[in-house]
Structure 1
């Protein structure tokens, strides 16, 4: 029995640490291939265009399974959906170690994408259940910052494992880390009303701070495809597409850029490649804190979200100039600013599903926007690979990424409307609801 009249517990922040760790492992597993790419290309005799296809294989299944993963998370709960997701991708990562060429790499990367599809939609749903609205951006920044930590740690760690034990060992180690996380998550996580260590004060604090109460029942008020009738959903999808097109340069081709275009040796590449994601990590955490502080001071949710989204994407356009400078130091600085801009936008992007989704559909909305956004993940590595193979330079590819971030900024500033929950149309108050949800 829970005690009353006691100091409020803070279990929700422990849940945030779990979400952060899941995303950190998620990105560690993704970037193992990126860090080992030069070695794998040499061993299997792959050119840049072929390696671009291998890299993009992940995104085909990752994008395809976003909506089913979001639906599953809202239907059966995030405890099961996130555990399944991490277990699946961890096994796929470990199996990559037995690859014998391009075909097997494509198969295992496709399996990895299927598993990782559930991570962000599940985390969006957990955030909507566990946190009051005024803490949502900070939490989104925290769990999404795991992607930067995972990316940053992966490079020197994977390069060390690779140089010491061969390129296959990092895949096995990364897979085992994920399975360890699954065991701990399954033992600890429950929804707020069912969690053993949440007292009445914390539960009241959470629920009283939410405009819509997520997870009290599992009834979804509309089909997922009906969400596409709403202006904000479309703007979220297009804007996130543009961000992902740019950010996946760092996840896929950035180490190769440092080696081939800037002449870094492997170990130096491993350390230098940490700089942009670490810069992005700091930027995202500060942006999340600042955003929630502005909201607490009375600024509208629309203003707060657009400040992060538009401002961050405009900063990210600096990626276009990174290939035009001769100095490697200046190039890394510009890429770091770009990464910081992308992460500033990202914490708001992952707050939006909880802000605008109909009740009990936060994971579905998160999956929908992530599905469309990762078409950028599919196109980015392929387009970049073919540009490099054709021009023998990274500069045109970086300029294309810069153009994408500019389009993203304009999308969030002018297409995205008022940030508020979608309320499904009913016959009783039709006029009010259509205005409230900005149906198009």
Structure 2
């Protein structure tokens, strides 16, 4: 019998699981994006400064990074089904709590006053609490999804399955500007948090019904189960808990290779967080776009990131086919990718013509980030044995979150300084300058630390 026909006859339930992971990741990014889209409205209504908003987003990034270090190990301990469900419940509650941030902030502000901490407004305190809860839950999305992929797919299909569910992040970033401004305009900003946040509970019903450990999954045919597990060792199906617990973070920090990846994340993740959290405000302050006016520009911009995700993964193959080994090919590809964000140096000079030019240039930078990120993660598997990969990625993710938090906080302070002088445009010029050179700077730091990937 033809091998392709045989595979088609074994069943395709594993792709149902992939679909669940795709929608889970889409909801993850939808919940994450609501605040940035409502920032112009909240800034006016709640009298926020840019520093206030920068502080709120920085708390999210720090909390997300900290809990990423531990969420994967927790999911290994309690199982994928329960772990992902608990994570989604936590982040959905956190998303909905944004709508009640002011009453939450009243109690928080009073407590901070007792502790001697002043200067944080009631609304800011409430949003910090809601944002931290959201981050705690969202930090488990990718560890859970990656483990579910390892459980339900044979090795040869995992990269395809991962690429499909990971594209949910781009879809979420696209859907958010198409829905959130409309909801806020017609029903109020509180309704945006409640409606979008509630989507997770709808997904949870399907997850609980259709997901189970493959060995207990009644919807899997015996042939498909055998196909999934064929050639897989036990510690390959469940990411290597035993070996990983023996890999000390402090031991890994002794390697220059760890620092190469970690600093690569630290210097470039801040660009992505800035693009996620500040672009709606940029379009409002620089071009006067408000409410549903920003829907189409942001949808176009984030759609471009999907191109970067796909092309970035393919680019090293271009050099591999020309005789390069995998690691040198990846580094060469990353160098050319690092040149692409230089286009944002033209954002301010050409922005006077039409806002569409900055949108396309910033979209190009965002697309380059996704291409860079795909290859940066892959350098870990180029340099480290399999049992150490998750720990190194956890360290780098934490560093990237710290870099993102610092970027958000400093950007907020910088914008307030320039806003006070009536020259906010110069503030954006400085930030876009940082975005332009961050990847080249990171590439040279990585090259200096590890001259040859090995």
User: Smaller-chain TM-score range?
Assistant: 0.7 to 0.9
CA shift digits 1:180-225 (9 cap, x unpaired)? 2223223323455554416446654665489x83427741342441
Residue in 2 aligned with 1:431? none
Residues of 2 paired with 1:195 and 1:286: CA distance? 36
Query: What does residue range 17-28 of structure 1 map to in structure 2 within 5 Å?
Result: 17-28=19-30
Residues of 1 paired with 2:361 and 2:194: CA distance? 34
Residue in 2 aligned with 1:272? 297
How far apart are 1:349 and its partner, in Å?
4.1
Equivalent position to 1:400, from 406, 418, 434: 434
Residue in 2 aligned with 1:242? 267
Residues of 1 paired with 2:152 and 2:452: CA distance? 24
How far apart are 1:108 and its partner, in Å?
0.8
Q: 1:284 to 1:412 in 2, by over 3 A?
A: farther
Q: Does 1:389 align with 2:416?
A: yes
The answer to whether the Cα contact below 8 Å between 2:268 and 2:439 also exists between their aligned partners in 1 is yes
Query: What does residue range 286-301 of structure 1 map to in structure 2 within 5 Å?
Result: 286-288=311-313, 300-301=325-326
Residues of 2 paired with 1:194 and 1:206: CA distance? 13
Residues of 2 paired with 1:76 and 1:32: CA distance? 30
Residues of 2 paired with 1:143 and 1:387: CA distance? 37
Residues of 2 paired with 1:274 and 1:367: CA distance? 30
> In structure 2, the residue corresponding to 1:264 is in which secondary structure?
coil
CA shift digits 1:58-88 (9 cap, x unpaired)? 1121111111112213333333322222211
Residue in 1 aligned with 2:288? 263
Q: 1:288 to 1:381 in 2, by over 3 A?
A: same
CA shift digits 1:316-363 (9 cap, x unpaired)? 343343233233222122111111111112333455666666556655
Q: 1:223 to 1:273 in 2, by over 3 A?
A: same
The answer to whether the Cα contact below 8 Å between 2:269 and 2:400 also exists between their aligned partners in 1 is yes
The answer to whether the Cα contact below 8 Å between 1:145 and 1:285 also exists between their aligned partners in 2 is no
Query: What does residue range 29-178 of structure 1 map to in structure 2 within 5 Å?
Result: 29-100=31-102, 101-131=123-153, 135-178=157-200
How far apart are 1:10 and its partner, in Å?
3.9
Q: Does 1:371 align with 2:364?
A: no
What TM-score does the superposition give when structure 2 sets the normalisation length?
0.80
How far apart are 1:29 and its partner, in Å?
0.8
Equivalent position to 2:211, from 173, 189, 196: 189
134-143 vs 106-115, greater mean Cα deviation: 134-143
Residue in 2 aligned with 1:213? 236
Equivalent position to 1:340, from 354, 367, 385: 367
> In structure 2, the residue corresponding to 1:229 is in which secondary structure?
coil
Residues of 2 paired with 1:85 and 1:295: CA distance? 39
Q: Please list every run of 5 or more consecutive structure 1 residues that lacks an aligned counterpart in the other structure.
A: 420-437
The answer to whether the Cα contact below 8 Å between 1:242 and 1:373 also exists between their aligned partners in 2 is yes
310-319 vs 265-274, greater mean Cα deviation: 310-319
The answer to whether the Cα contact below 8 Å between 1:144 and 1:347 also exists between their aligned partners in 2 is no
Residues of 1 paired with 2:229 and 2:388: CA distance? 18
Q: Please list every run of 5 or more consecutive structure 2 residues that lacks an aligned counterpart in the other structure.
A: 1-5, 103-122, 419-423
9-18 vs 40-49, greater mean Cα deviation: 9-18
CA shift digits 1:144-196 (9 cap, x unpaired)? 32222111211120000000000011111122111222232233234555544
Report which of the two has the higher share of helix: 2
How far apart are 1:415 and its partner, in Å?
4.6
The answer to whether the Cα contact below 8 Å between 1:88 and 1:112 also exists between their aligned partners in 2 is yes
Q: 1:209 to 1:404 in 2, by over 3 A?
A: farther
273-282 vs 12-21, greater mean Cα deviation: 12-21
How far apart are 1:56 and its partner, in Å?
1.5
Q: How many residues are paired up?
A: 416
> In structure 2, the residue corresponding to 1:86 is in which secondary structure?
helix
Rg (Cα) greater in structure: 2
How far apart are 1:14 and its partner, in Å?
3.3
- Provide the aligned C-alpha RMSD in A: 3.2
Residues of 1 paired with 2:137 and 2:51: CA distance? 25
354-363 vs 147-156, greater mean Cα deviation: 354-363
CA shift digits 1:365-385 (9 cap, x unpaired)? 443322111112211211211
How far apart are 1:133 and its partner, in Å?
5.3
The answer to whether the Cα contact below 8 Å between 1:310 and 1:412 also exists between their aligned partners in 2 is no
What TM-score does the superposition give when structure 1 sets the normalisation length?
0.83
The answer to whether the Cα contact below 8 Å between 2:308 and 2:370 also exists between their aligned partners in 1 is yes
358-367 vs 377-386, greater mean Cα deviation: 358-367
